[in-house]
Chains A and B, each alone.
Chain A
């Protein structure tokens, strides 16, 4: 009895398995090009960089193994801690401000009003343009002698004695502002998509129950946007911790390293001081930092994930 049942039970089990195998194979085939690119351009360089961070490599001389010397030197390096502090400051200001602003814009631009399409485009546009170009444009606007923005500000009595970008008091604020302005449109679009997927009848029901605008926002909009908020916050945090382009173009990390973030420091150590091993070590510390923060953030926000 049992001997006849077993194969009978196995046969139908094997058939869906073979479908699964075929599906899996198809999936892998589709994934292969992307995976190859990831392996060649992300994974391989990363593994290579781990090795580099343990050497004194300079690109031309053969790399000499130095163990954890780079990491030890790093934690005693004032330049590293300065860049670390700047990075944390930049992320702590830019990430929350960008997310809140993006949400505000999304809610505003979800209403019907004349010129809505124009406003949406205007806010999204900076995201499409290369950050390098944007940074050059802003550097011109902020130029103390020929800058349009500096000129306008002079009418209201704000006259920077030197350029905004070379004044240690304002340089960080200037690169932060450009960082926010650049990315807010992208996060706005994500929020906007989220807003439009919230069923309208929920608002109607709430309104019938006498809920005011603030209450509707608190009890419907915000909770139902949790998925988007999670995504946007993680993206914004990672992006700000890796801030580089506009800082490099606008201030080069100056004046006297006031705007130098970890990635600008990595660039300086690698391509200007020609210490590639040391630069790789810094990049791994940054990687670890970003990874831990993202996990914490993910764990915290995931509990609020919603399906509807």
Chain B
């Protein structure tokens, strides 16, 4: 963990004396404290600036873009210094509660809108409704669904970091090699199903294809699979977040289609996590992947000849998964830290901040009025295409049990079904009861 330079220098000398003078245990305890960095109160550093520790999970090629906006903000004024602390999302979710409870945690916490309600329900976050009420923060141009994504139980607990739909990446060279038109990616589930036999290739006939039509992660990944249920009018939980709909005929229909496509047609390897799926597509071993704009940089650097399109639409409904990351404040934040953080939130979502962010990361901007300024990267326009964003939905917004439902019920059930441990209907009817139990907790 990063600490302020001033405090390191000061405690370093004291520590050394103490370690010599006193028993080992004292030194150990002190070392533990010294290593923890700024506390939940927004410490001030040697220059009298308020230091805000900003935890987020932008570990990918989007990290430097985020850092750039933070650096610009730090340079734009001389009262606040934001320090980024970038770690894998999983690590962040597992550490954040203990850190905040121990009062040596972050001052600003970013997290996925799907996970935020769980933590808000535990009391980690403070409501930030007053941020939106202050006209100085200029929030009118922000994408409405990005703001709504962090709503839980009538209050808003976050300010958007990004809002983006997932798009279908397809490898044009592999399409060409399979005799398919590289400019005509599948637009519906049926078109996709018809292409799978051509794109999944098992040359040596050992039963394990060398090339797959898709790279579809089933665990530790952006939740593409649960979002596919929308295509038939199904879903994991009802619109109001109180009833499980996982066992409904519509949901079962979608699951049967996708499980059969993956298991029987070998459309995708089973048991991929998000990183495996990215790797498979990046190395040209999978022809299609549905993922967010953060992969564009990696795929460009790998020299892939790929196209981007809206994911194939289901038979009854046209809905794609939206990924929203929001940033919030720990419930024990001081007024001083809160005011400072609001200034950063406003800067992040300002015309200037969003222009830098979109140009650097490929994410579409969170506000509608900067599109003409984002010219350095071609991707924000593609991902921000209104025709796509209008159909983009957040998974399980405002559902406190959202995280546990996905991790403890949906993912294991899906893995059971993909491994043939029962029929889709049996497995997901049972899983639906478990989802309901989580919702009723």
Contacts of B270 in A (CB 8 A): 161-162, 166-167
> In whole angstroms, what is the CA distance A252 to B208 when docked?
25
Whole-angstrom distance between the Cβ of A1 and the nearest chain B Cβ: 54
Known: A36-B25, A162-B269. A59 touches B415 (CB 8 A): no
Is A163 a contact partner of B271 (Cβ separation < 8 A)? Answer: yes
Whole-angstrom distance between the Cβ of B114 and the nearest chain A Cβ: 14
Known: A163-B271, A167-B271. A272 touches B403 (CB 8 A): yes
Contact of B23 among A33, A144, A154 (CB under 8 A): A33
Interface residues of B in 30-46 (CB under 8 A from A): none
Q: Fill in one digit per residue for A256-293: 1 if any B CB lies within 8 Å of its CB, else 0.
A: 11000000000010011110000000000000000000
Contacts of A146 in B (CB 8 A): 279
Q: Fill in one digit per residue for B367-406: 1 if any A CB lies within 8 Å of its CB, else 0.
A: 0000000000000000000000000000000000001100
Q: Is B341 an interface residue (CB 8 A)?
A: no
Q: Is B220 an interface residue (CB 8 A)?
A: yes
> In whole angstroms, what is the CA distance A5 to B220 when docked?
83
Is B122 a contact partner of A257 (Cβ separation < 8 A)? Answer: no
Query: Chain B: how many interface residues by the 8 Å CB criterion?
Result: 41
Q: Is B407 an interface residue (CB 8 A)?
A: yes
Whole-angstrom distance between the Cβ of B200 and the nearest chain A Cβ: 12
Contacts of A257 in B (CB 8 A): 412
Q: Which of B91-99, B140-148, B344-352 forms part of the interface with chain A? A: B91-99
Is B122 a contact partner of A61 (Cβ separation < 8 A)? Answer: yes
> In whole angstroms, what is the CA distance A252 to B124 when docked?
25
Query: Chain A: how many interface residues by the 8 Å CB criterion?
Result: 32
Whole-angstrom distance between the Cβ of A63 and the nearest chain B Cβ: 11
Contact of A33 among B25, B124, B206, B208 (CB under 8 A): B25
Contacts of A144 in B (CB 8 A): 208, 269
Whole-angstrom distance between the Cβ of A142 and the nearest chain B Cβ: 12
> In whole angstroms, what is the CA distance A256 to B276 when docked?
18
Contacts of A60 in B (CB 8 A): 97, 100-101, 122-124, 331
Known: A58-B122, A59-B98, A255-B419. A145 touches B280 (CB 8 A): yes
Which residues of A come within 8 Å of B, CB atoms?
33, 36-37, 40, 58-61, 79, 144-146, 154, 159-163, 165-168, 252, 254-257, 268, 271-274
Which residues of B come within 8 Å of A, CB atoms?
23-25, 28-29, 93-94, 97-98, 100-101, 118, 122-124, 206-208, 219-220, 269-272, 276, 279-280, 283, 285, 331, 403-404, 407-408, 411-413, 415-416, 419, 421
Minimum-distance CB pairs A-B, first 5: A166-B271, A256-B412, A59-B101, A271-B94, A60-B123
